[in-house]
Chains A and B, each alone.
Chain A
Amino acid sequence: MKINISTTLNDRTLEVSVYPNQTLLEFLRDDLCLKGSVEGCGVGVCGSCTVLVDNRPVSSCLMLATDAAGKRITTIEGLGRNGALDPVQEAFLKHQAFQCGYCTPGMIMAVKGLLLNNPHPTESQARDYLSGNLCRCGTYVEVLAAVQELAGR
C-alpha cells in the first residue's frame, strides 16, 4: 500500500505516493528518474547518495521516502539556478576535484551542506565534515582546495 506525502523537491512542491519500505534514494532514482544521486554502499557510509534535507546532508539510502513528508529536499539536479552552476560546482570544476565522477554529486551536496551550516570552515573542520564521503580515485586534495576557496581561506 502506498502512502501519500507532500514534499518539496528542488524548490517544487510534490504530492506523491511512495511505498512505506522505499528509501528516498529509490524514490528519487526509480520513481523520479533523478539519477544524479547514486548508491555506492547501501549502508550510509560512502556518501555517494548524499542529498540535502532541510539544508543538512543526509544519506538518502538510509532515509525512508515517507520521511520526506513536509521536508525540503535538494538533490544535485536542484543545485544552480537558471542554467548557471552553483558556486560549489564551479569550484569543483576549477580545482578539478573529481576523476571518475561517481562520488562527485554526493561530495558536492556534502560540501554545500557544510557551507550552508558553516560558511567559513577551517581545513580541519572540512576534513571532519566530509570524511563520510569516500572518493576511491583519490581527489581529496582538490576537494579541500575547492572548499577552502569557497570558505574564503
Chain B
Amino acid sequence: MALVGRDVTMVGGLAKVTGAVNYAPDLQFPRMLYAKALRSPYPHANILRIDTAKAEKLPGVVAVITQDDLHGLNPYFGPVVDDQPVVATERVRHVGEVVALVAGESREIAEEAVGLIEIDYEELPAVFDILEAIKPDAPVLHAQRKETTAGVHREEFNFQVGGNVCSVYHVEDGDIKKGFLEADEIIENTYTLPPVQHGHIEPHAATAYWEPSGKLVLHTATQNPSGIQEQLAQIFKLPENQVRVIVPLVGGGYGGKTHARLEPALALLARKARRPVQWVLTRDEVFLTGRRYGALVKIKTGFKRDGRILARQVEAFYEIGAYALNGPVNAKTGCYVSSGPYNIPNRSLTTYSVYTNLPPTGPFRGVGVSHVCWAYESEMDDIARRLNVDPVELRLKHLVRERDIFVTGEELISVGVTDCLCRTAEAIGWKGKEEQAVPPEKKNLLRGKGLAVAIKSTTTPTTSSASVRLNADGSAVLLTSSVEIGQGLLTSMAQIVGEELGLPFERVTVSSPDTDVTPYDKSTSSSRTTFHMGQAAQQAARDVKNQLLDVAAKKLEARIEDLELRDGSVSVRGVPDKKMSIAEIFRTRFGSTVGSMFGGYCFKTAGGLDPETGKGKAAAFWFFSACGAEVEVDVETGKVRVLKAVTAADAGHAIHPKQCGLQNEGSLLSGMGSALFEEMVYDNGQPINSNFLEYMLPSLEDHPQEFQSILVETPHPDGPFGAKGVGEAALPPVAPAIGNAIANALGGVRIRDLPIKPDKLVAALQAEKENR
C-alpha cells in the first residue's frame, strides 16, 4: 500500500517544534474574563450559608455563581448517572469540590474575590477507605441512593441502592465450587493499587461564551466533544445544535479529559457574566479534579500439580471517589478480564465501584484493567514458582487462542497474545525456569527478569461518524470529532483516507473537532479511534470514491470494476489514456470545476452484555499485549532500577508503526511510574502531595537504558485495513512485569501493594530473613 503501514511525517510537527500550537490555555478572546474556583476545604460537609456580597463588590469582579444560580437548569450530570452537581448543592462530598466560581477581569482579581466569599459548613462524618465505605454503618455519600436509582441513564452497569456501593458487576462460567474442590492446591492473595494521576502536562482548560442568540460556544481541551455537547445541552435544556464545542490540539489526556470537568460550571458563569470566560486549572487543582481509581483486588486460584489451572475467583473493589463519573463502566470493563487472557474452566468474577469522600476519578489509560492485571499476572508467577515450572510455559498452556470462547460467551477474534508473549520473552532474553532460581547470597545488587500479558476490551457498542469532503483540485478534508491528543490521528486518518482515494498524503488533511461542522463520535477514549473512526473515515472516503467512479464509468464507457482511482485520476485498468482527472469529473457532474463532493459514513459496532449474566459481546475488538522487564534491586536500600524493558502490543495492522511504537513507550513509562513510585496520598481526605515535586512523574533518568517496542500484527476483519487500537494496550502488564522481575531477583519475595517503594522492599526482605 502507498500510505498505510508507512511512517509518513507526523502532521503538525512543525507547529509543535516552533511553539506555534494554540492549546486551550493559550486562547484569547476580546473582553475575556478569568475564572477562579472556591473549593471545599472539607471532605464531607453541609453548606449552611454562602455570602458572596463582598466578593461581588470587589472592583473587577463581573460574576459569581453558586448553588443559587442553578434554577431552571438540570443541575446534576454525569456520563452514566447524574449525581454530580454543576456547583455544590447543599453538601460537599470531597476536598476541592467547587462551591463557587468567580469571573474577574484578571486572574488576580478572581483569586482575591474567592477569598472574600463567606461560607459556613457543618462537617459530616466522612469515609475514605474502600472496605470501610461498604460497611453498613458507613456514612452514605448520596442519600437519595438509599431508595432509588433516579438519575441513572445507562442501566447496563447494575446500579445499587442503599449504601456507597455504586455498582456491582458479575460474570461466571463453569462451576467455581467444583473447580476449587478438584484443585490440588489453592493460592489466595489480596493486591492493592493507590490512586494515581494522569499527569497530562497541559492542565484542564476551557473558554466559554454565549452568542446573543442564546447559543453556547465552548473551546475546551477535551477528549470528548460530542459527549460534552450532549451533557451541556442536557444541563441547559438546549437542542444540541445550540451547543458548539471546539477542540484545539490537546496537550495530553490519557483518559483525564474524557468527561465534563470544567465545562458545566464555566458555561453557567459565562452566561451570567455575558462575556467570554476562561478557566485554566493550576496543577494542585488538577489533582483535585481527576485521577485513576484506587483498588483492592482479592484473587484465588485453584490448580492441579500437573500445571492445569482449574478455578479462579476474583473480587475487585474500585474506589471511585465522590461522584460516579465512569466508575461503573470501569468496574464492568475490569470484571470480565479479571481472570486474564486465559482459558480457565471455572470462574467467578465480581467487581464493585464504591463511593468515598475522595476527589472524583475517571478513565485512565488501561481503564479498570491495570488493577486486575496487577493481581492475576503476579499470581501466575507465584503459581509457576509453586509448581517449579517456567512461568512462560504455564501461561502458554492457558493463553486464549483464535476463536476460543471467552468468559462472556463470545468468540475471540484477532488474538495475538501468544505472539506478544513469545516475542517479548525472546527480546528480554528469557531463559526459562531458571529465571525463578533463588539468587546467590551476599550480593547487594540482584538482577531479575519478569514478564506479564494482558487482555482488554474496547467500549462496545459505540458509534463514530465521519465525512470526507473532496475539492475539485483533488485535495480532501476528513471531518471528524476525534481529538488529536498526541496519538497522531491527524496523520493516521489522513493515511487511511489518502489510501482509499488514491491521493498523495499531502493532499489530505484532517479537521479539528467543531461540533457545528464535524459529525458525532463517541469519544477519543478506549483506544477506539483507529478502529472506529478509521473505519468511518475509510467508508466515507469510499463513498466519495464511488461517486467519482460512477461519473467516470459513464463518461469513459467502462465498467466500474475496471476503473482505478490513483494520483488524482480515474483510469481504465490497462488502458492508460482512457482517464479523467478529478477536476474533469467535477465538470462532468456539476458543470463547473468548483464545488465539493461529500462522502459520509456512520460506523456502529454491535454488541453489549446482559447486565444480569455478564454474557454477550463485550468488545468490537480485543487488545492483547505483553511486557518484559529486567530490574536491578539494591537489597540494602530497596531501590529498584529498570535496566531493560520490552513492550508488545497487537496492532492488528499498524497504520503508522512509529506512532504505535510511541504509544508503547508512553504506556511503559506510565506503567513504570505506577509500579515504582507514583501514588496520590491523602490524610483524612486532604491531598498531601498534589504537585509534581512530591508526586514524581518518570523522567529521562528513570527511562530504562534499553527499551524495545514490538508490534504484533493479527489483522482484524472489521478494522480499517485490519487495524486495531494500541494506545492503552501495553500499560496494564507493565507493573506486574516489574513486580515479577523483582520477585525473581529476590527468590520469590513479592510486594502486593503498589507502588513498590524502597521501604516496602526493605521491610519485606527483613520479614523474609526473620521467617527463615
Contact = CB atoms under 8 A, between A and B. Distances in A.
Interface of A: 29, 33-43, 45-46, 48, 75-77, 79-80, 85, 89, 92-93, 96, 98-105, 108, 126-128, 130-144
Contact of A138 (B15, B250, B253, B665): B665
A137 B252 contact: yes
Contacts of A105: 17-19
A35 B18 contact: no
Interface in B242-267: 249-254
A48 B667 CA distance: 21
A104 B16 contact: yes
Given A102-B23, A139-B665, A127 B703 contact: yes
A76 B699 CA distance: 21
The 6 A-B residue pairs whose C-beta atoms are closest, nearest first, are A36-B19, A100-B486, A102-B251, A101-B16, A138-B666, A76-B19
A136 B665 contact: no
Nearest to B16: A101
Interface stretch (B197-205, B324-332, B417-425): B197-205
A37 B19 contact: yes
B552 to A, nearest CB: 38
Contacts of A104: 16-17, 19
B249 to A, nearest CB: 7
Interface string B13-45: 111111111110110100000000000000000
A136 B670 contact: yes
A40 B283 contact: yes
B701 A138 contact: no
A106 B452 CA distance: 35
B662 interface: yes
B649 to A, nearest CB: 14
Interface stretch (B50-58, B115-123, B570-578, B689-697): B689-697
Contacts of A139: 662, 665-666
Identify which of B485, B666, B707 gathers the most chain A CB atoms within 10 Å of its CB: B666
Nearest to A36: B19
B26 A143 contact: no
Tell me the interface secondary structure of chain B in the complex.
loop
Nearest to A75: B19
15 contacts: A29-B26, A93-B13, A99-B488, A100-B249, A101-B12, A102-B200, A105-B17, A134-B697, A136-B200, A136-B201, A138-B667, A139-B666, A140-B665, A141-B707, A142-B662
Contacts of A37: 19
Contacts of B17: 85, 89, 92-93, 98, 101, 104-105, 108
A35 B22 CA distance: 7
Contacts of A99: 252, 486-488, 662, 666
A137 B503 CA distance: 31
A131 B16 contact: no
Interface residues of B, number: 52
A132 B665 CA distance: 19
B668 interface: yes
Contact of A134 (B251, B668, B692): B692
B669 interface: yes
Contacts of A79: 18
B282 interface: yes
Contacts of A108: 17
A92 to B, nearest CB: 5
A42 B666 contact: no
B283 A138 contact: no
A140 B22 CA distance: 23
Contacts of B48: none
Contacts of B201: 38, 40-41, 46, 48, 100, 102-103, 134-136
B688 interface: no
Contacts of B253: 100
Given A41-B692, A135-B201, A138-B669, 11 more contacts: A36-B19, A40-B202, A42-B283, A79-B18, A104-B19, A130-B699, A136-B254, A138-B662, A138-B670, A143-B700, A144-B700
A77 B669 contact: no
A19 to B, nearest CB: 9
A85 B14 CA distance: 9
A102 B202 contact: yes
Nearest to A95: B658
B701 to A, nearest CB: 4
A96 B11 CA distance: 10
Contacts of B200: 100, 102, 136
B411 to A, nearest CB: 34
Contacts of B658: 96
B10 interface: yes
A26 to B, nearest CB: 9
Identify which of A75, A101, A130, A134 gathers the most chain B CB atoms within 10 Å of its CB: A101
B486 A137 contact: yes
Contacts of A134: 199, 201, 692, 697, 699
A137 B666 contact: yes
A134 B697 CA distance: 7
A141 B14 CA distance: 20
Nearest to B485: A100
Contacts of B9: 93
A37 to B, nearest CB: 7
Identify which of B18, B25, B254, B668 gathers the most chain A CB atoms within 10 Å of its CB: B18
Contacts of A89: 17-18
A75 B20 CA distance: 12
Contacts of B668: 138
A96 B10 contact: yes
B199 A136 contact: yes
A29 B280 CA distance: 14
Contacts of A144: 700
A96 B458 CA distance: 28
A69 to B, nearest CB: 22
